């Protein structure tokens, strides 16, 4: 089975604030950025589509600790932390999806407070391949929503990283995604299906 224009790579929130030295750092974030660069190039070469989501919060977002939320300020619109990781080199034609612009909406999922669902459906996408940051929050919710919407969904197991607020959160998130019908494969398997 080859990748086609009906397939999409969804790169979730590979942004500076979710990588080492960021305000909500995932220790493997740099490696995820490099892996997703290779995978996105392979998808592009095979005619598949590439989408990259970005947390894009206004200052004072409801998820920030100062507003009673659980997180330190992160991915504030226009900040260095909100920028995509410098090692994430995306192909021409990659569609950027900003989410979390509504100050009252958490938008863990790439499908919330964005037009990702509309973009994928308009493009005729039927299969999505998801990687990025963080496994136990935005990747988890993006995969669960992709399944709920009805996409055949693959999780790229070597292109994700967890926050692990509680030990094992990442593993539990993967189990939850599998329970929802996602298939776990490696990035290499995705590009040689």
How confident is the model at residue 193, as a pLDDT? 58
- 1 in Cβ contact with 193 (< 8 Å): yes
Domain ranges of the chain: 7-190
How confident is the model at residue 136, as a pLDDT? 96
Both structure tokens of 168: 């094992």
- 157 in Cβ contact with 130 (< 8 Å): no
Catalytic residues: 13, 99, 138
Beta bridge partners of residue 98, listed in sequence order: 54
Q: How confident is the model at residue 191 (pLDDT cuts 50, 70, 90)?
A: confident
* Average of per-residue pLDDT across 155-183: 96
How confident is the model at residue 1, as a pLDDT? 53
- Using a pLDDT cut of 90, give the percent of the chain over it: 96
* Average of per-residue pLDDT across 172-181: 98
Closest CA to 143 of 187, 179, 189: 179
Mean pLDDT (the chain, rounded) = 95
Encode pLDDT of 51-100 as tens digits. Answer: 999 999 999 999 999 999 999 999 999 999 999 999 999 999 999 999 99
Higher pLDDT, 115 or 192: 115
Encode pLDDT of 5-26 as tens digits. Answer: 999 999 999 999 999 999 999 9
Q: What are the C-alpha distances in Å from 118 to residues 111, 121, 151?
A: 9, 5, 13
Q: What are the C-alpha distances in Å from 180 to residues 67, 94, 101, 138, 145?
A: 32, 27, 27, 15, 10
∠ CA 123-136-162, nearest 5°, is: 105
- Using a pLDDT cut of 70, give the percent of the chain over it: 99
Taking the C-alpha atoms of 68, 142, 170 and 8 in order, what is their torsion angle to the nearest 10 degrees? Answer: -150
How confident is the model at residue 121, as a pLDDT? 97
Q: Does 102 have pLDDT greater than 70?
A: yes
CATH architecture, domain 7-190:
3-Layer(aba) Sandwich (3.40)
- 13 in Cβ contact with 132 (< 8 Å): yes
Encode pLDDT of 109-119 as tens digits. Answer: 999 999 999 99
How confident is the model at residue 192, as a pLDDT? 78
- 26 in Cβ contact with 161 (< 8 Å): yes
Both structure tokens of 14: 């590979």
- In the sheet that 183-185 helps form, which strands lie side by side, from edge to edge? 95-99, 49-55, 7-12, 127-133, 152-161, 183-185
């Amino acid at each position: 089975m080859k990748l086609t224009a009906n397939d999409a790579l969804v790169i979730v929130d590979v942004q500076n604030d979710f990588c080492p030295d960021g305000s909500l750092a995932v220790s493997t974030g740099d490696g995820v950025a490099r892996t997703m660069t290779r995978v996105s190039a392979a998808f592009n070469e095979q005619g598949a589509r590439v989408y990259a989501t970005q947390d894009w919060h206004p200052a004072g977002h409801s998820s920030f600790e100062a507003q009673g939320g659980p997180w330190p300020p992160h991915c504030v619109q226009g900040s260095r932390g909100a920028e995509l990781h410098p090692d994430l080199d995306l192909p021409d034609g990659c569609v950027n999806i900003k989410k979390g612009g509504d100050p009252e909406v958490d938008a863990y999922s790439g499908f919330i407070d964005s037009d990702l669902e509309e973009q994928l459906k308009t493009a005729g996408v039927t299969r999505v391949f998801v990687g990025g940051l963080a496994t136990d929050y935005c990747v988890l919710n993006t995969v669960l929503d992709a399944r709920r919407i009805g996409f055949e969904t693959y999780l790229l197991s070597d292109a994700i990283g967890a926050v692990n607020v509680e030990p094992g959160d990442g593993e539990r998130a993967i189990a939850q995604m599998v329970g929802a019908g996602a298939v776990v494969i490696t990035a290499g398997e995705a590009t040689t299906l």
